[in-house]
Structures are given as C-alpha cells and as structure tokens.
Amino acid sequence: MGILKTENLTHIYGEGTPFRKVALDNINLDIAEGEMVGIIGHTGSGKSTLIQHFNGLLKPTSGKVFVDGEELFADKHRLRDIRFKVGLVFQYPEYQLFEETVYKDISFGPKNMGLDDDEVDRRVKETARLVGLKPDVLKKSPFELSGGQKRRVAIAGVMAMEPKVLILDEPTAGLDPHGRDRILGLIKEYHQEKGNTVMLVSHSMEDVAKTVSKILVMGESNVIMYDTPEHVFAKAKELTDMGLTVPQITRVFVRLKEMGIDFPDEVYSVDYAKKLVLRLLEQKKG
C-alpha cells in the first residue's frame, strides 16, 4: 500500500437538497511514496474536493481514505496527527496569512505541532531559504509583501511542518510567468531535497509536464488516468477530446506524425524533442 490510498471514495455535496452534486464518484487510487504527482482536469472536475480528503478536511460520503496505511476517520482523535503528515496548501494561500511578522506566520504550523523553540526556529529559517525569502523579509509584516512573496510565505508555512506528503492546490494561479516558474522551481527543489511525496493541482499541462513523475487526470468526478507523463501524453488525442490541452511540443509532434514522420507518441519535453529531431537529421545525412 502506498502513502495515500482511496477505496471507493465518493463525495456528494448538499445531499438531500436541490443543490445535490456528486463531486467524486467511486475513486480508487494508490499513490506510492516519494512520487511527484500532477493533478489535472477542467474546472469542477473535483480536484480540490479530492485533495481535501487526504488530510481529513472533508469526510467521504462513502468509501475510505488511507494515509500511510492508517484509515482516516477511524479514530477522530488521530485526525490532527494525520493532518501533520499531509500538508495542504490551498488555492490562493496568501489569504490565510494573519500574523504580525512573516517569521511568526511561518512558525504557526510547527508551533501547533508542539515543537520546541529551537526546532521551530531551525525549520522557519530552513524553509524561508528554500522558498527564497531573504532573512530581512522574516521581520516584515506579511501584509506589506508583494503577491508572489505572500504566496511563498504561505507555502513555507506548510512546508515548515515537514509533512510526509505536501499537496498544493493550484500553487501558481494568478502569478505572472516568471513568478510561476519560481514557485514550480521551488516545489521541485523541495521534492528533490526532501524526497517527500508531493502532489500539485494545476491547469497548465506545460507546468505539469515540466515538473512531475506521475499525472492524475480527472474527468467529471472520476479518475480517467493515473500514469507517467509518457503514457498520459501518448494519449494526446483522448486528452484533447476531453477539452484538456497537451503541451505545445506534444501538439507539434502529433501533427508531425500525422504528416507521416515516424516519431514516438509521447513527446512532451523540449529536450527530448530536440534529441529526436537531431537523431532524425543524422539519419537523413547518414
């Protein structure tokens, strides 16, 4: 059993009212430890609903969720401890900042875990470095920072709890391309440095293709694919039929293939594409 697992997970909002909505329909997933998972799917497909089940913020209408082999909601008193294992960064997390200083805000989570002051201090400084916040920013009020900086403070606040699984809901929403790359970069760095499991929800295939080791594709309230990027992008046609985009480079290669050039199905990174083209040119020459 992997670090996160669901068994016939179903979630229905507003049961028994005219607003009833099946947000998750019988989801079975098993996510291995150390994986970097990208979740994609269009608006309203249930991505946010799914990830809120992994740390017990939402209770399944039916079905089970396991974290690290332990069933959620089996014992209510364990819920808070499990929440420390699964760190969840919400969409637009900067709206949850509240402390007087950045330092205090980042230390909110670790303090709630009951760590001693030295350990809290170590973690705050380390995560601040990891997300690229300079030491003098730590003394500032979070409300006087720029949007991108606020976002990094909020992410640091969860990272500082050193969860076994870090889940981020659209961490790059509303940022400019440069800010987007920086956030994705720091998440990747965190993953490499700690080797922890990371999940991130994203609307951008481009971003996902660059960062993750597995892709989870959500359709209308169910999981359509859970596989490596190669295998997922090999089904580029299926994805585009569903109204999802595939990376630009994949689209180019799908087109080239249609024109009769023999390329493999699953081109999704520019580096790989470059290699393929060069090899083809070599062959032509030789």
Partner 1 sequence: MIKDITIGQYFPGKSLVHRLDPRIKILLTVLYIVMLFSASGFLGLGLGMIYLIIAFLISKIPIKMMLKSIKPIIPIIIFTGILNLFFVEGGTVLFSWWKLQITSEGLRTMVFMAVRIIFLICGTSLLTYTTSPITLTDAIERILSPLKAIKFPAHEIAMMMTIALRFIPTLVEETDKIMSAQKARGADLETGSVLQRAKALIPILIPLFVSAFRRAEDLALAMECRCYHGGDGRTRMRQLKAGVIDWVAVAVTVIFMAGIFVLNGLLPI
User: Which residues contact Mg ion (rule: CB under 5 A)?
Assistant: 48
Residues written for the chain: 286
With tokens 């099946």, the residue in question is 22
Instruction: Kindly write out the interface string for residues 49-88 of this chain, putting x where it contacts ligand ATP by CB under 6 A and - elsewhere.
Output: x---------------------------------------
Beta pairing class for 197-201 and 165-169: parallel
Q: How far is the CB of 54 from partner 1 (least distance, A)?
A: 10
| Stretch in the footprint of partner 1 (CB under 8 A) among 34-42, 80-88, 126-134, 264-272 | 80-88
| Stretch in the footprint of ligand ATP (CB under 6 A) among 44-52, 68-76, 100-108, 132-140 | 44-52
Nearer to ligand ATP, 50 or 133 (CB): 50
Residue 207 has a CB neighbour count (10 Å cut-off) of 21
Instruction: Give phi and psi for 15, each to the nearest 5.
Output: -55, 135
Nearer to ligand ATP, 48 or 213 (CB): 48
Kindly determine how many residues on this chain lie close enough to bind ligand ATP according to the rule CB under 6 A: 12
Q: How far is the CB of 250 from Mg ion (least distance, A)?
A: 24
Q: How far is the CB of 228 from ligand ATP (least distance, A)?
A: 22
Non-local (6+) Cβ contacts of 64 within 8 A are 6, 7, 8, 9, 71, 72
* Helical segments of the chain, H only: 47-53, 79-85, 102-112, 117-130, 147-159, 177-194, 205-211, 229-233, 236-241, 248-258, 270-285
- Integer angstrom CA distances of residue 37 from 109, 208, 211, 276: 24, 9, 9, 26
Q: How far is the CB of 280 from partner 1 (least distance, A)?
A: 49
93 binds ligand ATP (CB under 6 A): no
172 binds ligand ATP (CB under 6 A): no
Tell which one of 9, 37, 41, 120 touches ligand ATP (CB under 6 A).
Answer: 41
Non-local (6+) Cβ contacts of 237 within 8 A are 254
113 binds partner 1 (CB under 8 A): yes
Question: For helices 147-159 and 102-112, what crossing angle results, to 10°?
Answer: 20
171 binds partner 1 (CB under 8 A): no
Which parts of 213-272 interact with partner 1 (CB under 8 A)?
none
Cα 173 to chain centroid distance, Å, stands at 12
Distance CA 81, CA 100 (A): 27
The answer to whether 198 touches 36, Cβ cutoff 8 Å, is yes
Tell which one of 13, 73, 92, 272 touches ligand ATP (CB under 6 A).
Answer: 13
Name the site residues for ligand ATP (rule: CB under 6 A).
13-14, 21, 23, 41, 43-49
Name the site residues for partner 1 (rule: CB under 8 A).
18, 52, 55, 57, 80, 83-84, 87-90, 93, 95-98, 108-109, 112-113, 143, 157-158, 161
